[in-house]
Chains A and B, each alone.
Chain A
């Protein structure tokens, strides 16, 4: 999976490393802004109020 990604990336090693870093940051931003806020309420840390029966 990752070996194939490395082979597909063009350019010399430093360009590939840069591309991987940029990709990692992009994925992280999407996770932090859109994915994590959605799954966070599934954990108990948000359940702090009193609920009806």
Chain B
């Protein structure tokens, strides 16, 4: 009697221990997936997007003034290349069209329906602050006066950051053509970058807003900006 109880208890303890070890291994594997594998996948996607973007920029039909034919953005495809000198020389991301999970897994995503780069209205972009290459991990380091350079087939748009703020996730009005004014007159070209705050959390959003300060066509060549 007491012997079989001992066997039962030993089996229970061993089984529980093995389950806990297995659970620990699963959680560890998931952490590796998030912190390492998602970055690897995003880097591969960016590499493809960069090649596609370069080919598209080179091959696009242009009229006599060098203005490219309008390209309808396709979800998940690259629409522009973004540079923020404040975030380092290597910080260079192809922005994709769309903000569903599959789009922003490849890189910063353009909110469909918001303005195109350089146009009047609000060019709104969301990006990961953690995992998936974490393009906006250090977006909190960007301060007013910093530059955001957006390159398209048409040329370069340089935005100067005017405001950074932390807001509740429900502030969808901030990506309106005139942020906070649904009926406002659209007479400015803005950029709005959206990411989660705090990093690794999602209770709030970090918003960086900029105003178009320089526009250069493809024939004019790149802007002269420190760090670009």
Please name all residues of chain B whose beta carbon is closer than 8 Å to the beta carbon of A31 when the two chains form the complex.
26, 29-30, 33
Q: How far is the CA of A52 from the CA of B194 in the complex (A)?
A: 15
Please name all residues of chain A whose beta carbon is closer than 8 Å to the beta carbon of B195 when the two chains form the complex.
48
Q: With an 8 A cutoff between CB atoms, is A8 at the interface?
A: no
Contacting pair B172 A52 (CB below 8 A): yes
Contacting pair B196 A28 (CB below 8 A): no
Interchain pairs with CB closer than 8 A, number? 74
Contacting pair B174 A50 (CB below 8 A): yes
Query: Chain B: interface residue count, which band?
Result: 35 or more
Tell me the smallest distance from the CB of B13 to a CB of chain A, in Å.
Answer: 12
Please name all residues of chain B whose beta carbon is closer than 8 Å to the beta carbon of A40 when the two chains form the complex.
33-34, 38
Identify which of A31, A39, A46, A50 gathers the most chain B CB atoms within 10 Å of its CB. Answer: A50
Please name all residues of chain B whose beta carbon is closer than 8 Å to the beta carbon of A39 when the two chains form the complex.
30
Please name all residues of chain A whose beta carbon is closer than 8 Å to the beta carbon of B196 when the two chains form the complex.
44-45, 47-48
Specify the chain A residue showing the minimal Cβ separation from B199: A45
Q: How far is the CA of A2 from the CA of B11 in the complex (A)?
A: 12
Tell me the dominant secondary structure on chain B's binding face. mixed
Please name all residues of chain B whose beta carbon is closer than 8 Å to the beta carbon of A50 when the two chains form the complex.
126, 169-172, 174-175, 194, 205
Tell me the smallest distance from the CB of A42 to a CB of chain B, in Å.
Answer: 11
Contacting pair B200 A49 (CB below 8 A): no
Q: With an 8 A cutoff between CB atoms, is B159 at the interface?
A: no
Contacting pair A51 B29 (CB below 8 A): no
Q: With an 8 A cutoff between CB atoms, is B202 at the interface?
A: yes
Specify the chain A residue showing the minimal Cβ separation from B168: A50
Instruction: Please provide the 3 A-B residue pairs with the shortest distance between their CB atoms, ordered closest to farther.
Output: A44-B202, A47-B202, A48-B196
21 A-B pairs, CB-CB below 8 angstroms? A3-B14, A31-B26, A31-B29, A39-B30, A40-B38, A44-B196, A44-B200, A45-B34, A45-B132, A46-B104, A46-B128, A47-B169, A48-B104, A48-B202, A48-B205, A49-B99, A49-B126, A50-B169, A50-B170, A50-B171, A50-B205
